[in-house]
Amino acid sequence: MKHLFVYTFLWIGMASFANDLTISRPILYQENGTSYTVLQISWDNAWHNKTNHDAVWVFFKLLNNNWNTRHVKVLPSGHEVVSTSNDKDLIRFEVPSDSVGLFLKPGKPFRGKIQATLKIMLDQKSFENADTYNGNFSAYGIEMVHIPKGGFILGEADTSKMDQGTLYRSNASGEFKGLFPVTAENQVIEIGPGENKLYYQAPEAYRGDQAGTIPAAFPKGVNPFYIMKYEPTQGQYARFLNALSPDQSQHRANFGGKDYYANRGSIVMEHGVYTARVPDALCNYISWDDAMAYADWAGLRPLTEFEFTKAARGTGKPGKNEFPWGTSSKSNIQRSVTDDGVLVMAQGLTESQLSDENKEWFAASFYWVMDLSGGLWERVISIGHPKGRAYLGTHGDGVLTNYGFATNEDWPKGVQETGGFGFRGGGFYGYGRAYHDFNPYSPVGYRPFGGWSGGNRAKAYGGRFGRTVNE
């Protein structure tokens, strides 16, 4: 007999307010020893061009009334496009080796809207001893951008900006010899004042310890990886909180401060449910541990400051004081943060008009990643601390500790600000404050807080996550 379970709410996807990602009414089927789900997905402005492509990361949870949440894995193969308004051959499935979720992507040249009904094969083991009758089977999606394979260059071409902690290739005396090329994913990089080593000026501890070895396993960004196209929104974070147990959510709820609602925060608790009154607002006021819990829960991982650099500027030679959109100017940007924290475009522009020629208007990077500068501070794994250099790039498995912490041992912890992460890209603190080198835009090569793991929850602090691509 077929077991049919329907999640009865329309679920709006965990991603872009700009691209209207929706995933609706996932249906769980269990029959003849197999499990699968059928769902509809839609998102605007998908692309596959000569440089790269976008994708949607999709993952599943079984939420039970007793808070025994299951992360449901997918099978390596067998997924189908049931129907679509596009060419069926356009949509491709990419399943990572850990099967924590899967990527949906345009597999050939395309620009436009993708709409499809999909059949996703699920790992039956995820349902062992689970109460599927009294639970809610949920689907989640996050828009991603694929960063292709290739070496790139670290540093800042303007040598007068070394007081910003910019990276460079050292001579024997620790002075600037040139920019630093990263040529292989397994490249071992020595940090220090020595011939051809990686180095930076750090009169204050904010930039790092100026020492150590970056090992072969540290994610460099040479091999391909995915990065979230946007920073998380408050609507996304509220849905994350609603999937946690009471013990977990009390540690991850981020709206307890007196100034939260005065500084663009909108998440509230109503009748036992977390709600974002401005769901499209950027999710500020998340600590490092909040961010890492979200990444683990979603099956993603933190990004390194090398990967941030690659995603921002691509493989070309850095210009002077260059922002992710490829110029040193901020005056042409048509994208801004509203008083309630939503990123909007001026002049009636939409992302369907984004191109390599006008990416400055959209504050889009070389690879069309949005708001790497100009939204919230991007917290990244730092090379300026031993705990950061020990990062192996492991992925989240969808499961948190009983008190809502990420479980990956190689990820730096932030409860006591123990080091290993830092801040890049700048952050929007609010109107009425003078703009400067990190409010709200910071050039790619600047890292004034690249090795600083201070700060817990604040109005300009956010996060962004990624995933390594199977090869």
Q: Exposed e or buried b for every residue in 126-153, given b needs 16+ CB within 10 A?
A: bbeeeebeebbbbbbbbbbbbbeeeebb
Amino acid at 376: L
pLDDT number for residue 25: 82
Query: For 60-65, what is the mean pLDDT?
Result: 89
pLDDT tens, 291-341? 999 999 999 999 999 999 999 999 999 999 999 999 999 999 999 999 999
Q: What is the overall mean pLDDT for the chain?
A: 92
Q: What is the DSSP letter of 304?
A: B
In this prediction, what percent of the chain has a pLDDT beyond 70?
Answer: 95
Burial class (CB in 10 A: 0-12, 13-18, 19+), 12: middle
How would residue 417 be classed by pLDDT, with cut points 50, 70 and 90?
low
Which residue, chain included where needed, has tokens 């400055």?
A: 360
Nearest Cα residue to 133 out of 65, 201, 82? 65
A 10 A CB-CB count for 357 gives 7
Look up the pTM and report it: 0.95
Find out whether 412 and 419 touch, Cβ atoms under 8 Å: yes
pLDDT number for residue 435: 73
How would residue 11 be classed by pLDDT, with cut points 50, 70 and 90?
very low
Q: Is the pLDDT of residue 36 over 60?
A: yes
Estimate the crossing angle of helix 288-297 against helix 234-242, to 10 degrees: 70
- What 3-state class would DSSP assign to 383? coil
Q: Is the pLDDT of residue 368 over 80?
A: yes
List the alpha helices (DSSP H) in 164-243: 234-242
Q: Which residues pair with 53 in a beta bridge?
A: 48
> Which position has the higher pLDDT, 23 or 66?
23
Q: What is the CA radius of gyration of the chain?
A: 22
Q: Is the pLDDT of residue 211 over 50?
A: yes
Query: For 190-209, what is the mean pLDDT?
Result: 94
A 10 A CB-CB count for 81 gives 18
Find out whether 243 and 193 touch, Cβ atoms under 8 Å: no
Q: Is the pLDDT of residue 410 over 50?
A: yes
Amino acid at 222: V
Q: Is the pLDDT of residue 12 over 70?
A: no
- What 3-state class would DSSP assign to 154? strand
Q: Is the pLDDT of residue 286 over 90?
A: yes
Nearest Cα residue to 336 out of 375, 304, 303, 369? 375
How would residue 257 be classed by pLDDT, with cut points 50, 70 and 90?
confident
Q: Is the pLDDT of residue 14 over 70?
A: no
267-270 vs 273-276, strand pairing mode: antiparallel
Q: Is the pLDDT of residue 30 over 80?
A: yes
Q: Is the dihedral of CA 251, 252, 255, 260 positive or negative?
A: positive
pLDDT number for residue 135: 84
